[in-house]
Structure formats: C-alpha cells, structure tokens
Structure 1
C-alpha cells in the first residue's frame, strides 16, 4: 500500500482532498519531487518528468499522503477515476506511476499521477503554462 504524492487538487485545503481524502488519511507530510515540473491551462495541474519539458533545476512540491489501510483499495479506485486513469489504456488523461519523493525524513516511493500523452503533447505545443515555483 504505497502512499500517494499529491501536488494539485488532492492536497490539503484543495477541493478534491475535502471530497475524497478527508477523514481517510493516516498522515500527510510535505514532500517534493526533483527533476519534475507542473503545467496548467486551467483548474488542475499536470506533472511531467520528460527531460524536454522540465526546465533545469525544476522541482514539484506537494504532500505525501498515507491512507488508512481499510480504505486503501476504495480510495485507489476513486483516485484513478478522478484522474481518468485506466491501467493499460492508451488515452489516459493521467498515468499512475511510482516515483521516489523526498521528505524531511528521507526518500519514499509513492504513487503519482503524471500527464498522459495528450497533455504532454499540449505542453510541447505551448498550450499549457509552466508553474515555475513548483507549487500549486
């Protein structure tokens, strides 16, 4: 049961945290992902790690969230639905992958939702703007 690295609307204080995660977490800690960037064109961000899309020194800041074991599978399904992620589907809005994030206590592996192919293509076309401070 990997924790989740969240960097947008699933962070504490954001709309989807309140709707999906509030009351079901064990712990939320500040975390960051080096060599990554976030882009947006509206109400939510896309995280990318492709070398051609990540400016030198870019970091994404977010939270590492551990969820209650009894609710893990249900929350995983809810988050996959929110992010329009279906394992193995070619047209996912986001992909769910494992990354190693940094916390004050050290490195941890976590799930994160990253931009799917269409979103990456839109970034390459200049349709989304880079959030240079790495903070949503």
Structure 2
C-alpha cells in the first residue's frame, strides 16, 4: 500500500539550522514554514527530541512541502533516519498523519510527523526528561 503523500512537520534536527536539515533541503519546493502541532509535548532524547501525544501540549516546528518528484526518496530517507519500519513494534518513532497549524495564517494542514512509538513513549513518560516550553533547541 502506498502511503499518503503528505507534507512533513518536523520539530528537531530536521529543522533549518539542525544537523539533519541538509537531508530535506534539496527535496523541498520552498522554504520551511513555521507551524505548531497541538496535542503533543517534547521529551529529551540523546541529541534529539521525541514528541509524544499529550492533549495539554503544543510543539513548535516547521512545515515542509516536498517536491513531488523527490517525494519517494525523501520519505525513504526520513524513515531511514528515524529508524521507522511500518508495523515494527521495535520502532523508536512512528510516522503518523497529524493536523498542524501554520503560524503565518493559522490555517490547518495535514502532515506526516514522527512521534515516539508506544514503547518509547511509555519509557519516556516514566523515566524521561520533559522539555520545558514547546520548542526543542540543540
């Protein structure tokens, strides 16, 4: 089954200035746009953040619109970076569709984002360090 061809919402190392932004920059049709993901909070990882579902939080990040010609390669590269394999219970992250709010005009938009997979989220809630505020900075 072919996944939906959604834009991406990123909140960590894939953002402009982040250590992995070079992986997405060539595949985009325009500049990243500031956006917010309601219903999520951030936890610290080893050099990168994890977003977890939480109805009381919001995560700040960027909305990325990929070039249709580069979409398949970009999706594969991001899944590889996030070590995401569809249906694998050992995933650290799950790629999920979410509605984000574009900051410039408060318009909602659907996007893929990588949230902590259930086992990762459970471990972080028990033993992790929640990041104060709604934005991760390296």
Please report the TM-score for the alignment, with normalisation by the length of structure 2. 0.88
Partner of 1:86: 85
Task: Tell me, yes or no, if the aligned pair for 1:91 and 1:117 is still in contact at 8 Å.
Answer: no
Consecutive aligned runs of 4 or more in structure 1 exceeding 4 Å deviation: none
Deviations along 1:3-57, one digit per CA (max 9) or x if unpaired, are: 0000000001101112x11222113100001221010132011111145xxxx3x
Residue ranges of structure 1 left out of the alignment (5+ in a row): none
Partner of 2:62: 63
Partner of 2:109: 108
Partner of 1:22: 25
Deviations along 1:73-112, one digit per CA (max 9) or x if unpaired, are: 0010010011011111111110000000001230000000
2:4 is the alignment partner of 1:3:
no
2:32 is the alignment partner of 1:31:
no
Partner of 2:124: 123
Distance 1:17 1:118 in 2: 27
Residue ranges of structure 2 left out of the alignment (5+ in a row): none
Report how many aligned residue pairs link the two structures: 129
Please report the TM-score for the alignment, with normalisation by the length of structure 1. 0.89
Q: CA RMSD in A?
A: 1.3
Task: Tell me, yes or no, if the aligned pair for 1:39 and 1:129 is still in contact at 8 Å.
Answer: yes
Distance 2:64 2:46 in 1: 24
